[in-house]
Amino acid sequence: MRTDDKYKERCRVIMCGVIEGYNTPFEERYGVKNSIEIFSKRLTLTGFVVTDEDFGPAYFKQHQETLQK
C-alpha cells in the first residue's frame, strides 16, 4: 500500500486481496513496511472478506442479477 500522495489525511482505506497469502507459511508472509506513513496520515484501514454477512449476500444477489441481463 502506497501512502504518498494517493491518500488524504484521515481517510478510510478498504483492504482486500490477502487471500493470495492464505497458504503461505506464517514465517514467509510479509508485514506492513510503511506503518509510519499510515500513522502519520492517520489512516483507517478496514479489511473485509467476501463471505462477511454484510457484504457477501448483497454482492451475490447483485452479481446474479447482472448475470441474468
- Which residues have C-beta within 8 Å of that of residue 44, sequence separation ≥ 6? 10, 11, 12, 13
The pTM assigned to this predicted structure is 0.57
Length of the chain: 69
Distance (Å, whole) CA 37 – CA 16:
19
Query: Which is higher by pLDDT, 40 or 32?
Result: 40
3 pLDDT higher than 60: no
Distance (Å, whole) CA 46 – CA 14:
5
The secondary element (H helix, E strand) that includes residue 45 is: strand 44-47
